[in-house]
Structure 1
């Protein structure tokens, strides 16, 4: 009995990655046919009128600034299952995307056979729960500190740059001592949750874990 291949769409803003993935997944023995490739979710959705897909491999973070959870919701509404495909395990973003309906997560460093297997599992109505996905979800359930809007702004600005503290304070429109006070209070809140952040690097790691800032590329 001949089975129809799983129709797959790929959303990735790195064209070389997307095209390479499409070429690797397309051979007949994988049971998969990549029928649409796009840089953004809206672009892919526009193409679904001509090429319906069963599963979409969705890059977790796209250059258009869209939220993964929103992208998952849009793709699900268009009738596609979603497998997240990323080089990073950004816990909070993965958690949000799974809550929005993503059925799996595969790290870009995995072999193409693993990616194909995840696609087939999701197309068959299952889930593709990888070790990376489990780690991300376990990390995301850690309690986040209750930061004020001002404290969130301070954490994001301070951990997103290598600029010296007075420069960061000037960009935030406050005095250096005021910035130091906010940072002390943020560190105390993290320490109270058993997630100490003594240094700037520690704060950056906490900010990445909690989805305030993206991880550094590379």
Structure 2
């Protein structure tokens, strides 16, 4: 069962998403409300576990920032999908930098929204037109200035290969490959795009054109070492 929370200050949007999720087998809306604080208060009061996926409006009417909202939800243990009209690419990029798993337009068919929820719930990156549009044209966002060797290590590692196999394939020591991954993570932190997990590294590789398609399309999500 995929547990979903809906956070949007437009009640009509929430009601539409609730109805769509109710039609989906194995999907349960556990919370629907207008802001992140309300959701976290509900979590604390009910002692409920975090939602698997939170569908979050890009801009709420309570004065909070998208960075603040995404970071609070991710720190609480949920994956976040931005549900937005997608006409503010800078704000969408800010949400992605803060840790959102992806963005889906409010103009998208409802089946696309539920598909996005299932994709993110499986731990797979959400690669779609809205995501690509947010990244396109913003090279400060997309460029961590990786070296040729770092890009090659990232390409293989993010595609799902264990680090030892990456080292063997490139003809380097395991310690060298590990140092490359460490430097890659540091560089992404330096440009405001942290990648603490392997799935995060996959997302960064896709954002930077190092991988053209999700690893899941080639046989499943990234494997650990």
TM above 0.5, yes or no, is yes
The answer to whether the aligner puts 1:41 opposite 2:36 as a matched pair is yes
SS in 2 for 1:128: coil
State how 1:121-160 maps to structure 2 within 5 Å: 121-141=119-139
Post-superposition Cα deviations, 1:68-127, rounded to whole Å, max 9, x if no partner, equal 111100001111100000113311111111111100110011111111111111111111
State how 1:84-99 maps to structure 2 within 5 Å: 84-99=82-97
Aligned residue number for residue 66 of structure 2: 68
Aligned residue number for residue 26 of structure 1: 22
Measured in 1, the distance between the counterparts of 2:98 and 2:75 equals: 11
SS in 1 for 2:108: coil
Aligned residue number for residue 102 of structure 2: 104
Q: Mark the runs of 5 or more structure 2 residues left unpaired by the alignment.
A: 142-225
Measured in 1, the distance between the counterparts of 2:132 and 2:59 equals: 19
Deviation at 1:23? 1.3
Output the TM-score relative to the length of structure 2. 0.58
**Aligned with 2:57 (options 34, 37, 59):** 59
- Structural RMSD (CA): 1.6
SS in 1 for 2:38: helix
Measured in 1, the distance between the counterparts of 2:138 and 2:64 equals: 20
Measured in 1, the distance between the counterparts of 2:140 and 2:75 equals: 30
In the alignment of these two chains, the number of paired residues is 138
The answer to whether the aligner puts 1:9 opposite 2:16 as a matched pair is no
Q: Mark the runs of 5 or more structure 1 residues left unpaired by the alignment.
A: 144-218
Output the TM-score relative to the length of structure 1. 0.60
Post-superposition Cα deviations, 1:33-81, rounded to whole Å, max 9, x if no partner, equal 1110110111111112324310000000111121111110000111110
